[in-house]
Structure 1
């Protein structure tokens, strides 16, 4: 039922309108009475009516003033002006307050029913529109985790489609101008897979970040990838420092919540989606460099330690992988493609 507030200083007028409404539109309205403008404002605050029928001339606060106050507090309410005169000045003021319906006393029952029927139809249409918008928003928020997983899979897979990745980034409101990757080198987690995934995702999204966004992949072939994504203006050091802090945080969380010592590999900061994919390969290698200790290993540190010539670390990323590392990455990519399908 809709709530109808009738504000008129004449009790017979209020009761007459209520009688007509109950007789001509049964089971449609719950009726609230107000005998002056002040009471109308109070009753509107208390009951939040869908429709307000307001007499222009009442003792104390006049009808237009009361309508203005009610409209300010309850902008969705439909307003009907009741007047004893077809006064243009009243009509002009009423229109400025959002009143598009008015009745001239004594109003015939057909006029009252016609006005209220139109407003009820408007209310139903507005409610239907709100329901549709809420349904779309709910579907959108349900799809956000899928979009996050998908963009992670794009950045992890062998071929990066910049356009498709850009569309997914737009949905998530994330930049992909530059970024770096972290990889958690998880051993077989068995039944703890969901617990591990939830712990990592919760910790990653709860981590403080001002200049970049975070994307978390699903758990694929005993590892999870995370991507820190920034704009062109994001400093490389901000991303690199953020990755180190996040890696430490995730290692602590998995140790405390899951009882796991997990090695964390961190790739270098790279530009665009293709470069971020390279950072992922670097992070994969770094995560497998020291699987015993379960600490943080940055590919950049491995490069510096290997000297200017660049040895196994650089060769791995450039394509001269040894059989073990190559098989690991290729198996992960096959599983990524299967998961995307």
Structure 2
């Protein structure tokens, strides 16, 4: 690695042969989980550990962060293959004129969707301890109309009260919340704190609604089944923990996690209700598009009149 911290693009980067070997191993990981891209760097790290390329030590993670940074700066790895989730954006919505606005309406119409949880007996939500995994979870959950939430660790009070208020707004159905968190003291207590607090809020805001929490991952059985890399529980953390070893949610292979979530969602879906809704959605989408296409072209120029 260069002694001076790199800035901007680095097209002339010539990695050491050992670094090239590491990058080839990274290529294999990215190809293996092409359907789940982008991955977090920690997911790549855990995959390399499982592949026997790296050992589970913080120094190897730090080295991987540096190598992948240079690989992206140099164009060796696509920027879109990895996500860091450190950026917060707020971009104003604007148009280049009436024609641009009309085109945006057409694009929105083509993306028109009904609530795909409508008519289902149970309304589902997904909560993730790790914010970096949200996009991967959305890829699975979005086609079913299931929202995904993350508090980047322990969720704040407004988020937990918000879950109770959503249950209150849909009193006719039970609510089931799937949780994905680390298998360690924090992950276990995040789950219990979330379930207990939301239940307490719901007891007041939605007393007639059954709100159930289900821990999807990571479980001790998944650790054993998939031979996930582990570490001993932190001796400084005195909170109760039923396991003998710990692992992070990002250690679970992304395709396995996708299958776990998909199976859990489909277990609570009525396919006949879903099929009827999709037919209705398609009909309404075509009707909206036809109406927009039938409008006169937007007026241009300061002297134009409606």
Normalising TM by the smaller chain, what interval?
Answer: under 0.3
Tell which has more relative contact order, 1 or 2 (C-alpha 8 A, sep 6+): 2
Larger Rg: 1
More helix by share: 1
More strand by share: 1
